[in-house]
Amino acid sequence: MSFAYSFARSLQHLTRRLSNGWLSSAGLAPESLEILLKRTMADVRILEAFSDNYMYLVICPKTKEAAVVDPAEPQKVISAVESAQVKLTTVLTTHHHSDHAGGNEQLLLMRPNLRVYGGDARIKKLTHKVDRDDMKITIGSFTVQTLLTPCHTSGHVCYFIPAGSDSSNPRPPVVFTGDTLFTSGCGKFFEGTAQQMQAAMDKLAALPPETRVYNGHEYTVSNLKFALHVEPGNKAVSDKLSWARSQREKFQPTIPSTIGEELTYNPFMRTREPDVQAHTNQTDPVSTMAALRLEKDNFKVPRL
Phi, psi angles (nearest 5°) of residue 230: -75, -45
Residue in 43, 70, 100, 156 annotated catalytic: 100
Residue in 43, 70, 96, 99 annotated catalytic: 99
Active site residue 97: yes
Checking DSSP bridges between strand 181-182 and strand 185-186, what pairing results, if any?
Answer: antiparallel
CA distances from residue 61 to 138, 164, 169 in whole angstroms, order as listed: 14, 11, 9
Going by the DSSP 8-state scheme, the letter that residue 113 receives in this structure is T
Active site residue 99: yes
Residue in 43, 70, 95, 279 annotated catalytic: 95
Residue in 96, 156, 217, 279 annotated catalytic: 217
The Cα 154–Cα 149 span in angstroms is 8
Kind plus residue range of the DSSP H or E element containing 219:
none
Residue in 97, 120, 156, 279 annotated catalytic: 97
User: Dmax of the chain from CA atoms?
Assistant: 54
Active site residue 133: no
Radius of gyration of the chain (CA): 19
Active site residue 43: no
Active site residue 202: no
The Cα 10–Cα 72 span in angstroms is 22
- Per-residue b/e over 281-294, b at no fewer than 16 CB within 10 Å? ebeebbbbbbbbbe
**How big is the CA angle at 142 (ends 140 and 143), to the nearest 5 degrees?**
110
> Which residues belong to the active site?
95, 97, 99-100, 152, 179, 217
